[in-house]
């Protein structure tokens, strides 16, 4: 069967560039894809606002990646931080490894997942009887170099959220059983989504997400009708839709790839860094994670716009996304945390409303 025929059997995914509104969520996802070290994004919002659709759409938009063929960790052919031990050993032995192009992995973490399913398991019996480390990879192995999506992350067991955040931050997953230890690369963009009505995430876990996007149900009736009509039209003729948006999809894909290449040469002036830290200090943000993420996101935003120097405008666009979930909650305060970040930013950077 030719590849063209196989395409007919794959479920069409709504084009990212066709999604109406939800700019905060779209920007946060694109910046995390440009620089995964931002630390993922938490998307909080009402049910039925297109969270899952948007996340699947960004994974589908991204260009294919080159991996070592039949490797469970989607190992990179030359980057040591992105390859499993077997591949490292084979390269040291001077073996020639076959590579293949695959779509960016998009892994859904089911709510009822166990730790073994997430991290992988070691077959102790095989290890003892045959003297080999028999490792059964889990979802973290599958997500290496891709996107790991956790819907209803606020309902997930805290222990599992901790494991996910640790792996996302370090880029590695370690599994230990009965004195046997296996370590493999697990560098992915962690995307969590949830509905605030179903409970908040613990502050110390929330703080570990790089960015926090809030999405609301569209109130404008004209826009609502447009969203409904577009979705209905896509469901009826998906292939025609994908053709119509192919040029826009390719333009955005090229823009993201160009930004990834430019990122390492983007500069952020010292005086701007001082002001970012001043905003964090005035907002009483615990730790330095807020400063680090804001710096990273500002650079990613400049690269996204094709510039090698960060401007105040870049910082303004991303600072609320990076800091709003790090503020201490004061039940008596009436001002929204996003507005509070914006207000302090304008004071420090001396921007008039």
Answer whether 125's CB lies under 8 Å from 166's CB.
no
224 has catalytic annotation: no
Active-site annotation holder among 56, 187, 208, 289: 289
Q: Which domains does the chain have, with CATH numbers?
A: 24-62+103-215 (3.40.50.300), 264-348 (1.10.8.80)
Q: Give the number of other CB atoms < 10 A from CB of residue 299.
A: 28
Answer whether 127's CB lies under 8 Å from 180's CB.
yes
Report the alpha-carbon distance of residue 215 to residue 150 in Å, rounded: 17
124's CB contacts (< 8 A; 6+ apart) are 177, 178, 180
Digitized pLDDT (tens) for each residue of the chain, 353 residues in all = 444 444 455 678 888 988 887 888 999 999 999 998 898 899 988 777 778 888 889 988 888 888 988 888 888 888 888 888 888 888 888 888 888 888 889 999 988 888 889 998 887 766 666 656 678 889 999 999 999 999 888 888 888 888 888 888 888 998 887 777 888 899 898 998 888 777 777 777 788 889 999 888 878 888 888 888 888 888 888 888 888 899 999 999 999 999 999 999 999 999 999 999 999 999 988 888 899 999 999 999 999 999 999 999 999 999 999 999 888 776 555 556 778 888 998 988 888 76
CA distances 328 to 129, 195, 202, 206, 333, Å, are 53, 20, 12, 12, 11
Number of Cα atoms under 13 Å in the Cβ half of residue 222? 0
Number of Cα atoms under 13 Å in the Cβ half of residue 97? 23
Please name which of 201, 174, 194 lies closest in space to residue 186, comparing C-alpha atoms.
174
Q: What is the pLDDT of residue 340?
A: 87
Answer whether 205's CB lies under 8 Å from 153's CB.
no
Q: Which long-range contacts (CB under 8 A, 24 or more apart) does 281-285 make?
A: 282/344, 282/347, 282/348, 283/323, 283/326, 283/327, 283/340, 283/341, 283/344, 284/327, 284/328, 285/323, 285/326, 285/327
Report the alpha-carbon distance of residue 99 to residue 217 in Å, rounded: 44
Q: What is the pLDDT of residue 127?
A: 61
**Dihedral of CA 291/345/341/148: which sign?**
negative
Q: What is the pLDDT of residue 277?
A: 94
Report the alpha-carbon distance of residue 208 to residue 204 in Å, rounded: 7
Report the alpha-carbon distance of residue 328 to residue 326 in Å, rounded: 7
Report the alpha-carbon distance of residue 268 to residue 297 in Å, rounded: 11
Residue 319, token pair as written in the block: 């600072």
Q: What is the pLDDT of residue 53?
A: 85
């Amino acid at each position: 069967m030719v590849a063209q025929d196989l395409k007919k059997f794959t479920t069409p995914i709504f084009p990212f560039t066709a999604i109406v509104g939800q700019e905060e969520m779209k920007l946060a996802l694109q910046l995390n894809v440009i620089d995964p070290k931002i630390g993922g994004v938490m998307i909080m919002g009402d049910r039925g606002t297109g969270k899952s659709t948007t996340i699947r759409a960004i994974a589908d938009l991204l260009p294919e990646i080159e991996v070592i063929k039949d490797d469970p960790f989607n190992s990179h052919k030359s980057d040591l931080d992105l390859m499993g031990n077997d591949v490292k050993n084979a390269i040291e032995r001077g073996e020639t490894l076959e590579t293949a192009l695959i779509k960016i992995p998009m892994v859904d973490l089911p709510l009822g997942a166990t730790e073994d399913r997430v991290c992988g398991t070691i077959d102790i019996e095989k290890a003892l009887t045959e003297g080999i480390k028999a490792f059964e990879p889990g979802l973290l192995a599958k997500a290496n170099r891709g996107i790991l999506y956790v819907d209803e992350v606020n309902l997930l067991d805290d222990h599992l959220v901790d494991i996910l955040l640790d792996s996302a931050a370090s880029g590695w997953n370690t599994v230990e059983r009965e004195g046997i230890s296996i370590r493999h690369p697990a560098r992915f963009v962690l995307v969590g989504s949830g509905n605030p009505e179903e409970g908040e995430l613990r502050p110390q876990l929330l703080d570990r997400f790089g960015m926090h996007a809030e999405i609301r149900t569209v109130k404008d009736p004209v826009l609502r009708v447009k969203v409904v009509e577009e979705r209905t039209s896509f469901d009826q003729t998906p292939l025609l839709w994908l053709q119509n948006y192919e040029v826009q999809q390719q333009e955005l894909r090229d823009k993201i790839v160009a930004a990834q290449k430019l990122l390492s040469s983007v500069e952020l002036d010292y005086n701007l860094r001082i002001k970012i830290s001043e905003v964090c200090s005035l907002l009483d943000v615990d730790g330095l994670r807020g400063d680090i993420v804001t710096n990273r996101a500002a650079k990613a935003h400049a690269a996204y716009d094709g510039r090698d120097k960060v401007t105040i405008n870049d910082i303004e666009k991303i600072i609320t996304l990076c800091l709003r979930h790090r503020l201490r909650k004061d039940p008596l305060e009436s001002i929204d945390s996003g507005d509070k970040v914006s207000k302090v930013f304008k004071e420090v950077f001396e921007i008039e409303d």
